[in-house]
Structure 1
Amino acid sequence: MAYQQYQAYQNNSVNTASPGELTLMLYNGCLKFIKQAKKAIESQNYQSKNEMIQKTQDIIRELMVTLDQDAPIAKEIMPLYDFAYHALTQANIKNDLEQLEQAREIIENFRDTWKEVIKQERIRQHGQGVNS
């Protein structure tokens, strides 16, 4: 029963999230899967490691596909997504924690930056609402 309530909450969270919040959820998902992949490598559970890295790569591919190519920042973001994706591939092939860590750092930086963007946007919107 509690699990069903949690699932309903999760579905509602996704369905009511703004595009910015959805992007933040994707970054957080990447970091969660990278953490699980690290634990799997350390415990030599290679099947789980493969699954977690593939889930992370799926999210990064989604972020790449949905990136607005006309935005000036896209030319800076895309190579970093590409690098993270490649690092994950190497981590998966070689069970390489260093490559996994490089991908984690990139995604974490994106996540932290995105959190700040959302925060600033909320402040901007709230400020406009007060002045209107």
Structure 2
Amino acid sequence: MNANVRQTYLGASVSTASPQRLLVMLYQRLVLDLQRGRDAQEAGQREEANGHLLHAQDIVMELRISLRTDAWSGAPALASLYDWMYTQLVLANTRCDAAMTEHVLALAEQLCDTWRQAALQAAG
């Protein structure tokens, strides 16, 4: 697919997505970045791992910043979880520790699945 066509398609997908779908898309990208970062760490490709993990850190920070902690009773606990994930990603990145990245990845996959199910319930 042509790069311009792909960018146009992705832009349209994001601009027309519901807030629930946007959240799921963000989590899906987080999982992808963590998988790629872990794989690069395991292959000894520190620079490549760094790029993926920095992007993952940005996503976690965005999730944390956009979370309204007064919106529901579980929000403060989720905020704490995001803080922990961010700290672990910084450490995993600076130490080039694939096991730490894997641990955050497992949690991100669970959260992604949970939000995906919630979005499906909200839509249906």
User: What TM-score do the two structures reach when normalised by structure 2?
Assistant: 0.93
**Comparing both chains, which one has the higher relative contact order based on Cα–Cα distances under 8 Å and sequence gaps of 6 or more?**
2
* Percent of paired sites with the same residue: 32
- Superposition RMSD on alpha carbons, in Å? 1.2
Tell me by how many angstroms 1:19 deviates. Answer: 0.9
**Structure 1 residue ranges without an equivalent (≥5):** 124-132
How far has the Cα of 1:3 moved from its partner? Answer: 2.2
**Residues 34-49 of structure 1: matches in 2 within 5 Å?**
34-49=34-49
Deviations 1:7-61 (A, max 9, x none): 1111100010111111111101111111111121122111111111110000000
Q: Equivalent residue for 2:22?
A: 22
Indicate the residue corresponding to 1:127 in structure 2: none
| One-letter identity of the residue aligned with 1:115 | R
Quick check: 34-43 or 54-63, which moved more? 34-43
Give 1 or 2 for the bigger CA radius of gyration.
1
Q: Is the 8 A contact 1:80 1:106 kept in 2?
A: no
Local SS of the residue matching 2:104: helix
User: 1-side partners of 2:61 and 2:97: how far apart?
Assistant: 21
